[in-house]
A and B are shown apart, each in its own frame.
Chain A
Amino acid sequence: MTQYDGKVVISLNVNGEVFEVAVRPADILLDVLREQLGLTAAKPGCLNGDCGACTIVVDGLPAKSCLMLAVEAEGHAIETVEGLGGVAAAQRAFVDGNAFQCGYCTSGFLMVCHSLKAQYPTVPEEYIIEEWLQSNICRCTSYNEIRKAVYMMYE
């Protein structure tokens, strides 16, 4: 059985690279990504799992990094917007479709869309797109543009 007390060094696989980080078992993954690895794309928003600004991808599925302990991420493949390299279909579609205003929610939406494309290589039914997008909030209300960007991502 693995047991961690106090500060421990763990390995995290983030964007294909392995990093060693010193964490408390109570540290949330969002804070470790931002403060120890300097990966600031995932944003702190509600810190409650509601807004989706902190969304990353874990083992191919979206996850809210404010609701995951860093120690839980050991042995899993983590992706953040930094790992998309500016060339992912979701990123191109968001730029081409002007699918953002202030941009604070954009990283989270991008990771949801990136995971959607990986899970559904061809355009899924409308209700599936709606289900996935409902996990995130855009307070600038760019929802129409974001939805259009999802379809552009598949072109």
Chain B
Amino acid sequence: MIPFNFTYCRPSTEKEAADAFAAHESEGKTPLYYAGGSEIITMCRTRSISPGCVIDIKNIPNLNLLSVDGNHLIIGTANTLTKICQSKLFPLLKLACGRIADHTNQCRITLGGNICGSIIYRETVLPLLLSDADITLFGPNGGRSASVESIFRRRLARNQNEMITQVRIPIWALDARHAHIKKTANEKIDYPLISVAALWKGETLRVAFSGLCSYPFRSKEIESVLNDRAKSIEERAQRASELLPEQAYNDSVASSEYRLFVLKNTLEKLLEGWENDSI
């Protein structure tokens, strides 16, 4: 049971949603955009958050687009992880979506919810960081677009009154060579010890990580080291593990040292797969 009341709004356009947000915010109701709802319901139940209004945006048509248009794949952010997997349009994103939570929850969790959620892993961001994707936001002042690389710094830099509506992925990324490796401490379904997403643009390897630090990131410094094929696999993996943007994450699941150990092994496997063409 959620131990307090809130207003529920179900808009049918982005403008209606943004207007509802502004109206309820002006009444001091601390509104929230809502789609799959799994994290918001859980946090409301424990009173970690107590919104006065939830604005359910998952029925807005533009947020449910999932198609290739010209040079981009457009994915509305209300698409569930299951729908994205079933579409098979972006194989790397399919792999990332298929390892978030469990199958039943994947039928509810939306792309937008995973990107904007409060849980630190946000594993769908990795393929977006690697593929030069753009993201579209809509708020009371209208819409705007930005590259994911420029707007995702530790987390998505958006105003609370903005919803993310679509991501646009250049089509070169859809059939590019790719790999996704997720390591968990115990069960297959768990938060990542580390998740590594890899995408090759031509012969150049790009990598992004989740679970390794307190936020998902892509590191061009690490990529530069990993692409130096004159050096041995072990040297590259070792050097890459020394270039994290902050100390490796340390929690009750795994120490920093253990995460670094897993990282080096995972990078070695990735590079071996690249060398022997098994990826």
Contacts and interface: CB of A to CB of B under 8 A. Distances in A.
A4 B108 CA distance: 22
Nearest to A55: B104
A26 to B, nearest CB: 4
A65 to B, nearest CB: 11
A32 B34 CA distance: 20
Given A26-B2, A26-B6, A71-B8, A135 B37 contact: no
B102 A135 contact: yes
Contacts of B82: 61
B192 to A, nearest CB: 16
Given A1-B16, A49-B42, A64 B5 contact: no
B41 A69 contact: yes
Contacts of B108: 63-64, 67-68
A112 B56 CA distance: 26
B45 interface: yes
A67 B38 contact: yes
B107 A3 contact: no
Interface string A37-56: 00000000001110010010
Contacts of A69: 8, 37, 41, 54
B1 A31 contact: yes
B105 interface: yes
A25 B6 CA distance: 6
Contacts of B4: 26
Interface in A69-119: 69, 71-72, 112
Question: Most B CB atoms within 10 A — which of A4, A27, A131?
Answer: A131
Nearest to B13: A1
Contacts of B44: 26
A1 B2 contact: no
Given A47-B45, A52-B104, A3 B9 contact: yes
Contacts, number: 91
B42 A48 contact: yes
A49 B41 CA distance: 10
Nearest to B6: A26
A67 to B, nearest CB: 5
Nearest to A3: B9
A6 interface: yes
B146 interface: no
A126 interface: no
Contacts of B37: 67-69, 72
A3 B103 contact: no
B98 to A, nearest CB: 8
A154 B2 CA distance: 40
23 contacts: A1-B9, A1-B12, A1-B20, A3-B7, A4-B8, A6-B5, A24-B5, A25-B5, A25-B54, A26-B5, A27-B1, A28-B2, A47-B45, A63-B104, A63-B107, A64-B104, A67-B37, A67-B41, A67-B42, A68-B37, A69-B41, A131-B102, A134-B103
